[in-house]
Amino acid sequence: MNDYAPEPQVYILDTGGQYTHLISRKVRERGVYAEVRPSETPFAELKNAKGVIISGGPSSVYEAGSPTVDPALLASDIPVLGICYGQQLIAYLLNGDVRKGDKGEYGLANLNLEPYAGPLFSGVEDHKQVWMSHRDTVFAPPNGFRILASTDTCSIAAIGNDATKKYAVQFHPEVVHTHEGRKVIHNFLFDICGCGKDWEPASRIPVVEQSIRDVAGDRNIFFFVSGGVDSTVAYSLCLKALGGQRVHGAYVDTGLMREDETDFVRKIFTSLGAEHFRVVDAQMDFLSALDGVTEPERKRAIIGEKFVQIQEEILESGPYLDGQWILGQGTIYPDTIESGGTAKADLIKTHHNRVAGIQKLIDENRIVEPLTQFYKDEVRELGCELGLPAEFLERHPFPGPGLAIRCLCADKDEPCVPTADGVIAPIHSVGVQGDSRSYRPVLIVKHLDHARATEAINADQRVNRVIGEVGHNIPLDRQSVIQSSITPGRMDRLRRVDAIVRELSNSSGFDKEVWQFPVVLIPLGGDGLPDSVVLRPIDSVDGMTAQSVSMPEKLLHRMRDALLAVPGIAAVYYDLTHKPPGTIEWE
């Protein structure tokens, strides 16, 4: 179902970078339709583009087997912009000098423009902040290229050849931390490539609806809906295209959802005019399967396996496998790309695609996916145009496995370990340090200073996350890690503290100041109070990088007092960790 998208004016060649889709989104935000392709895509498939952008990536261009591009691209008249690894690759393929730098450059830097910085930097202010993330460096540009910019630690931060319209930057213009990044992308698209505006997601709705009718024909559509934005918008589009009698849906209540979540989802689908929508109560199936399980990846796997089992039962319980039915899914554009470091669908969505009954429908081409050309923010635009309520569309992102990954577990009792900076609690959370994923203990401190927390993480490689104490029922020196798994009681406790935080955040307006606010239950306590709460408010544009956000003191104290009144809560903590090195979610 991609006949409703225009021909791409710009291709993003993916070399395995975590920001590849962010580049594509930033191009589309300028009104120019772009798509992602593997870096090795033959030039013959790119020759009609008005421009090509080569993404960043974790590899070294001089190593065997590292991502590359068709040399014909750089020999063509098509404008090309290389970003980070993309700069190194352009320099390397055109006989410039690329080597490992004396030291890496990670985080913020100030960009110093040369007296002539070319059309790429037209109208860009000098000495503005950029985001760097590299170790390898261009030591000498290829013949015909000029150095356009530098930083204090990177003498070649941008290069360009006006004659061939080939440009490259070592920094990341696509991330929000690069203050003039939007202008750099704008200059490349419109001044260098000569693109025209051809992309406005909301205006595509009539075309998408017609595509749904074309694919469905006289058949009906069945959805497994999660209650999230993607599946709900896809369901709404199908309802609008075919009517309530021909679109059915099922929502599985796993027992891992937020307080009153199932009632909220039921209300949303009733308001949509969903005539054949039902809730499947599978709470005990999931909770009994998770009993005694502590390892995070095993938890995710079990949740996926249970979805497989329950979906099969639902499909086999009705007429949905016969020829008069096709499957509807809320697959969005990033989920359709399968290359190096490009974002993949979450585990539950992956399992949806592996269910035998669903695979049968896919193999028989009995599937409709209305959102495969749209990003998450574009899906929200569609939802707004379709009349979905703002309270639904503006909700913070919520993980597919539900509260299960915010309910941390421990396979044994363990004491905390005092250090010079605080106390290390042997509760392992996931982090991103360099290009690697890590599970490491948490450092607990007595302050709420983000700068000091960052220094502590950099100084102690044993940890990837720092939390500060907000308040307690039991002093920290009497707290320890307590053996625990996911139980109905702990889930009820997490649901209650999560609801308290959401209610206070909403009533104070704080929820509008953050991108997401996970509330995490950790098995840290004592004296009959087995758990503690960690507050994790963060600000982000897309979740790729994130900043821990401070909360107004008065609100924090109200929240602390309400949480400490919940039975079983030993203490309240505040996550002071940015991403990187700590991920937004703890598991």
Domain spanning 407-575: CATH 1.25.40.10: no
Check if 10-192 and 407-575 are the same fold.
no
> Given this model, what pLDDT does residue 29 score?
93
- Do the strands 128-140 and 158-161 form a parallel or antiparallel pair, or are they unpaired? unpaired
- pLDDT above 90 covers a percentage of the chain that reads 69
- The winner for highest mean pLDDT among 373-382, 399-408, 562-571 is 562-571
Sheet containing 80-83, strands listed edge to edge, beginning at the edge strand earlier in sequence: 34-38, 10-14, 51-54, 80-83, 166-169, 158-161, 146-150, 97-113, 128-140
Hey, which bits of 237-324 come out as E strands? 247-253, 276-281
Question: Which positions are annotated as active-site residues?
Answer: 84, 172, 174
Question: Does residue 341 have a pLDDT over 60?
Answer: no
> Given this model, what pLDDT does residue 346 score?
32
Question: CATH number of the domain at 10-192, please?
Answer: 3.40.50.880
Residue predicted with more confidence, 134 or 179: 179
Return the number of other C-beta atoms located less than 10 Å from residue 544's C-beta: 18
List C-alpha distances in Å: 50 to 77, 272, 369, 523: 9, 41, 28, 55
pLDDT tens-place string over residues 497-540: 999 999 999 999 999 999 899 999 999 999 999 999 999 999 98
Report domain extents, the chain.
10-192, 201-399, 407-575
Letter string b/e over residues 31-60, b meaning 16 or more CB atoms within 10 A of that residue's CB: ebbbbbbbbebebeebeebbbbbbbbbbbb
Question: Does residue 342 have a pLDDT over 50?
Answer: no
Structure tokens at 375: 């990003």
Whether 527 and 478 have beta carbons less than 8 Å apart is answered as: yes
Question: CATH number of the domain at 201-399, please?
Answer: 3.40.50.620
Enumerate long-range contacts of 144-150, CB under 8 Å, 24 or more apart: 145/91, 145/94, 145/96, 146/114, 146/116, 146/118, 147/114, 148/113, 148/114, 148/116, 148/117, 148/118, 148/120, 148/121, 149/111, 149/112, 149/113, 149/114, 149/117, 149/121, 150/111, 150/112, 150/114
> Given this model, what pLDDT does residue 461 score?
79
pLDDT tens-place string over residues 27-79: 999 999 999 999 999 999 999 999 999 999 888 999 999 999 999 999 999 99
> Given this model, what pLDDT does residue 337 score?
55
